[in-house]
Amino acid sequence: MLSPTFLSKSYFAFCIFLGSIVVASAQGNSRSIVDTSDKPIVFAPGVVSSPFEEVAATFTPDGNTVYFAQGTISMEICYSKRVGGQWEKPHVAAFSGIWGDWDPFLSPDGRQIYFVSNRPLDTTGENKLKRSTHLWYADRIDSNNWSEPHCLKDSFNMDGIGNYAPTISRSKDLCFYSPRRDKSGKGKSFFAKWMVDHYGEPKPLMLNGNEEVSDPYLAPDESYIIFVSGNDLYISYRHGDTWGAGEKFGSQINDGSSNYDPTVSPDGKMLYFTSTRIKGYYKRDPKSLPLDYDALSKEMNGIFNGKGNIFMIPIHLPG
């Protein structure tokens, strides 16, 4: 017969072993999403990523055209094509360039582009920008041409509160960010079901407790949502009719910098996001200090000057 002391020690050892399996499993799951050996790199430096602010990269299904927003006085939607493996000089999209337009998102089939704008709701009336932002979309006509933009006519898009960061699944279900819609004072993102000819009532996405959830990216099959809370990126997986608690990405992505506007490539293999990070990418040379004005101008006109750049890193997701 085994002694109580032996049984107690054996049980304690088993608990430690079981705990190590759980920890190893969790760490393995983290590594399976983003390899710890990988480091984000700047997307299309000097072409798309520039000394100015760039946000919300979104790609055509073949991955050879990227739309994004860029600007100083006002953000505008631009696009660049990849030819011979190289990204070409961007152009302003035909439907943009007058009003403030940003947060573009291409539908998974590439037939619509959704975006945020402060343009007037009725272009035949008073030609003044709106103080609040609304969600708009345009239909693809051909390779680079789009229809006149249409404002989503659902009631949640017409209340003057302000909506941002639209993202659409294959089923046309919609997620978006609306910082002042909830009276709690915490900015929330919302999920609205497509009901054949209109959207149902938006429901808040409680993915990180009561913390703010912004800039959602909804997977085409709705199996996960990548979102921002604070300055960090999280992922939440679908469980039945809802999504589980967000899991924070590792330090190679969440390095303390401001990160926002996540999206995933059409093939599901690359995570894109905008970040203001500088550490690890640019450092002043102590031997060259103090800077003269030429050196200061060079620094200010460099990519790593504190403005948001689009970064990319390989990602491994289930399915």
- What pLDDT, on a 0 to 100 scale, did the predictor assign at position 180? 77
Q: What residue ranges do the domains of the chain occupy?
A: 1-33, 41-314
3-state secondary structure of 299: helix
Three-state secondary-structure class, residue 22:
helix
CB 149 within 8 A of CB 117: yes
Cβ neighbors of 203 (< 8 A, separation 6 or more) are: 190, 191, 192
Distance CA 28, CA 238 (A): 20
This prediction has a pTM of 0.85
pLDDT at residue 288, rounded to an integer = 82
Q: What is the pLDDT along the chain (319 residues), one digit of tens a residue?
A: 444 443 344 444 434 333 333 333 333 343 468 888 889 999 999 999 999 999 999 999 999 999 999 998 889 999 999 999 999 999 999 999 999 999 999 999 999 999 999 988 865 555 655 567 899 999 999 877 899 999 998 989 987 788 999 999 999 999 999 987 776 667 799 999 999 999 999 999 999 988 899 999 999 999 999 999 999 999 999 998 889 999 999 999 999 999 999 999 999 999 999 999 998 888 887 888 898 889 899 989 889 888 999 999 999 987 5
pLDDT for res 15: 41
- In this prediction, residue 292 carries a pLDDT of 87
pLDDT of residue 20: 35
Residues contacting residue 299 through CB under 8 Å, at least 6 positions apart: 284, 291, 305
pLDDT of 34 reads: 87
Query: From the CB of residue 312, how many other CB atoms can be counted at a distance below 10 Å?
Result: 18
Phi, psi torsion values for 196, nearest 5 degrees = 75, -50
Name residue 188's beta-bridge partners: 178
Identify the pLDDT of residue 35.
86
Question: Which tokens belong to 116?
Answer: 């945020």
State residue 202's pLDDT score: 93
Cα gap 243→301, rounded to integer Å: 42
The 3-state secondary structure of 139-185 reads: EECCCCCECCCEECCCHHHCCCCCCEEEEECCCCCEEEEECCCCCCC
pLDDT in the model for residue 185 = 64
Q: How many whole angstroms separate alpha carbon 174 and alpha carbon 225?
A: 12
> Is the omega angle on the peptide bond into residue 202 within 30 degrees of 0, that is, cis?
no
The CATH number fitting domain 41-314, selected from 1.10.1040.10, 2.120.10.30, 3.40.50.300, 3.40.50.1220 = 2.120.10.30
